[in-house]
Amino acid sequence: KRNVLIIGAGGVAQVVAHKCAQHNDVLGNIHIASRTVEKCQQIVDSVREKGSLKTAGELQAHALDALDVEATKTLIDKTQSQMVINVGSPFINMSVLEACIQMGVAYLDTAIHEDPEKICETPPWYANYEWKRKQRCADKGITAILGVGFDPGMVNTYAAAAVKEDYFDRVESIDIIDINAGSHGHYFATNFDPEINFREFTGRVWSWQNNAWVKNKMFEVKRTDDLPVVGSQTSYMTGHDEIHSLSHNLDVPNVRFWMGFGEHYINVFTVLNSLGLLSEQPVLTAEGQEVVPLKVVKAILPDPSSLAPNYTGKTCIGDLVKGQKDGQDKEIFIYNVADHEEAYAEVGSQGISYTAGVPPVAAALLIASGEWDVSHMVNVEELPHRPFINLLNEMGLPTRIKDEQGDRPLSF
């Protein structure tokens, strides 16, 4: 399969475009589409400026409203794309997936579908949307890889590696820990779209414990870990896409997700949330103007993509896996450390976008090679983990493992 259509033109799309360009000898022509063609053109210009294209090949920007299935189908056809990497807002997933199914092309995304009307979806998340299309994908032989960013994405592969390799006889728990120990230098900013970012934290927190869904409040449950490179870090139990698919696909009784927040972030977030400024419900001003508080907050916060040039520090994201081996309790931590400044130097984006944007391109390469061209819909943990980890070791996201034998690179 060749020729890639990238949908979306945000921070993650920028990374996807650069990485596709670095591998265009395999991936073929590259097209980038979002509603605002100028944003796509900026990405095209940045790829050209950095000289990221490996060989001469098409690289073009297009205007597309991806909620319009017919328009998306037309663009897939016009560009002769055989793979679509959807890194647009999660509101467009089901429309883009529909266009891919109808056109018979491969589909990849990095986040679960969201309904703009619903602030907090209740599990089972994938079953509410994407998985309803499983049968149609299988019937038409469509390869659809869901949630192939970092988290979800790489962390699903790490979970699969922990369960399927010979580390454990029995896995008791998978705790996914996501720490951004970087600094952007602003009083307050979100690393990606504030609307999407806050939605993760304003609702209930769901986790999979003792083979059942458990509900908590945000910032109610926390842990502190001494992690490689980033040191002692506190993280809070958070609901996240991959908890659902991992709990469904791997026979592990406890799957939880933890995201690191500084006290300052929590204080500002708590004030905004308590005042109602994160609400998506419109309010009337005294002058009779209708405003959506969350949209106002988004408008005044720094644009997440503007954070990249001055971002310093590192991220550490990984899976802490506990279980038993040969009758003994055992734990391993499989993880990656990424550097904001290195990401910016290579592709002009901050580290969060980098960690999210490199894996879908590795996945596209594995579809092109046939290793991941499975002709049905899957989550990442259902695919062979070895080629993915090995490929990402070479593409800028090296995996490491820490266990009783020490802390070392992981490859197969």
CB 182 within 8 A of CB 335: no
Position 239 contacts ligand NDP (CB under 6 A) = no
301 part of the interface to ligand NDP, by CB under 6 A: no
Whether the link from the prior residue into 387 is cis, omega within 30° of 0, is no
d(CA 254, CA 207): 8
35 binds ligand NDP per the rule CB under 6 A:
yes
Angstrom distance (rounded) from CA 126 to CA 390: 27
Q: Which is nearer to ligand NDP, 192 or 257 (CB)?
A: 192
**Chosen residue from 79, 89, 180, 350 binding ligand NDP by CB under 6 A:** 89
> E strands of 239-376, at which residues?
254-260, 283-284, 290-291, 314-325, 328-339
352 phi-psi bin (left φ>0, alpha ψ -120 to 50, beta other): alpha
Of 153, 260, 318, 351, the one binding ligand NDP (CB under 6 A) is: 153
Structure tokens that stand for 255 in this block: 């799957």
Beta carbon nearer to ligand NDP, 125 or 192: 192
Q: Residue 334: name the closest of 162, 166, 167 by CA.
A: 162
Nearer to ligand NDP, 92 or 250 (CB): 92
12 is a contact residue toward ligand NDP (CB under 6 A): yes
From 196, 214, 221, 395, residue interacting with ligand NDP (rule: CB under 6 A):
196
CA distances from 358 to 154, 233, 259 (A): 10, 25, 20
381 binds ligand NDP (CB under 6 A): no
Residue 246 touching ligand NDP (CB under 6 A): no
Residue 281 CB partners (closer than 8 Å, separation 6+): 292, 293
Q: If binding is defined by CB under 6 A, does position 197 make contact with ligand NDP?
A: no
DSSP states along 239-295: --HHHHHHHHHS--SEEEEEEE--HHHHHHHHHHHHHTTT--S-EE-TTS-EE-HHH
Angle between helices 69-79 and 93-103 (to 10 degrees): 50
Residues of span 91-110 touching ligand NDP by CB under 6 A: 92, 110
Task: Please name the amino acid found at residue 290.
Answer: E
Which residue in 165, 193, 341, 371 binds ligand NDP (CB under 6 A)?
A: 193
Show the site string, 308-347: x = touches ligand NDP by CB under 6 A, - = not: ----------------------------------------
351 binds ligand NDP (CB under 6 A): no
Closest CA to 76 of 53, 52, 98, 93: 98
Q: Kindly state the smallest distance separating residue 95's Cβ from ligand NDP, in Å.
A: 8
Q: Is 395 in the site for ligand NDP (CB under 6 A)?
A: no
Closest separation between CB of residue 171 and ligand NDP, Å? 22
Closest separation between CB of residue 5 and ligand NDP, Å? 11
Which tokens is 144 given? 């659809």
CB of 63 to ligand NDP, least distance (A): 8
Q: Which CB sits closer to ligand NDP, 156 or 207?
A: 156
Phi, psi of 14 (to 5 degrees): -60, -45
CA 117 – CA 330 distance, rounded (Å): 43
**Residue selected from 26, 67, 214, 229 as contacting ligand NDP according to rule CB under 6 A:** 67
Among 111, 307, 308, 374, binds ligand NDP (CB under 6 A): 111
Q: CB of 190 within 8 A of CB of 203?
A: no
Count of beta carbons in the 10 Å neighbourhood of residue 103? 20
The H or E element that residue 59 is part of is: strand 59-63
Q: Cβ of residue 38: shortest distance to ligand NDP, in angstroms? A: 8
30, 44, 84, 87: which one binds ligand NDP (CB under 6 A): 87
Judged by CB under 6 A, which stretch of 135-143, 149-157, 278-286, 308-316 contacts ligand NDP?
Answer: 149-157
Per CB under 6 A, residues contacting ligand NDP are 7-13, 34-36, 39, 64-67, 87-90, 92, 110-111, 149-153, 192-193, 196, 304, 352-353, 356
